[in-house]
Chains A and B, each alone.
Chain A
């Protein structure tokens, strides 16, 4: 399955079905981040229930320094 993560095409590794598993495979810790799929913001407890689908547009964002 191919999806887009932060604007880049990404082939999802085998065994990755949920957003939580995707974050794990990308080495991203779920604390202090937000995830959006196809423009919908996911709440923290949706991360392990929402299933990824072909061509999903995923955004993974975090806090950085800013004024």
Chain B
């Protein structure tokens, strides 16, 4: 099987993991480790100065020699805010990758396509590897590809809903037309959802809530890893098309009742 390549970096696993909502940093790092994921997302927030200093920051649980750490711009409502967050992330950790996430409406958390496009243009010029989180809009995906984003990340369903591939038909069009990797993000709730996305030709999937909020996140991470791997192998094996009439798997000759009156 061919490894996935994004922005010149090779990934052995097509499963990416978001680091939010885990009960503990130890659970998070075990889930990442056991899943074999080689790309993880993180967020950036103000240090809470009211609380005791954080002796055990999240970032110290992630090994940058093993995983690509991709800060997101969550919380940004405008292109300007997203660019600011990306630059802060670069200053804090030296990270050149950014998941562009611009969700002005906190109720549905759907991405703002106009601000996302504006921010992508700026960040690509600044030399970032830009992974924009977008609605499953094939036209927007193509426009982003044209300005040089490293991938596109269309949503399957609103963030954290576990609803699965609600945007399947649109994601299929995006995949058919894309010359950059398509990472299906947000809303995938079960390993079968992730497998379907990979079988459809998605380059990879990004999972957070479905793993982090499972009762056993480490086990769920393994389950997603297996599903993604199985789907990748199936895709590689070239499945035959579905059809609406039966074709027998067993011979249609030599039946026991043949020749009887």
A interface residues, Cβ below 8 angstroms from B: 5-8, 26-29, 31-36, 41-44, 59-67
Contacts and interface: CB of A to CB of B under 8 A. Distances in A.
Contacts of A67: 18-21, 41, 43, 72, 74, 159-160, 186, 206, 208-209
Interface in B54-92: 54, 57-60, 71-72, 74, 87-89, 91-92
* Band of interface residues on B: 35 or more
B88 A60 contact: no
A66 B72 contact: yes
A36 B90 CA distance: 12
Interface in B192-221: 206, 208-209, 212
Contacts of B206: 67
Contact of B88 (A8, A27, A61): A61
B72 to A, nearest CB: 5
B95 to A, nearest CB: 9
Contacts of B41: 66-67
Nearest to B72: A66
A9 B119 CA distance: 31
Given A6-B46, A6-B47, A65 B92 contact: no
Contacts of B91: 34-35, 41-44
B174 interface: no
A61 B19 contact: no
Interface string B218-241: 000000000000000000000000
Contact of B20 (A33, A44, A66): A66
B52 interface: yes
A32 B93 contact: yes
A26 B52 CA distance: 9
Contacts of B18: 65-67
B47 A66 contact: no
Contact of B74 (A29, A35, A62, A66): A66
Contact of B44 (A8, A35, A62): A62
B254 interface: no
A64 B45 CA distance: 7
Interface string B173-198: 00000000000001000000000000
Contacts of B212: 65
Contact of B47 (A41, A42, A43, A61): A61
Contacts of A43: 91
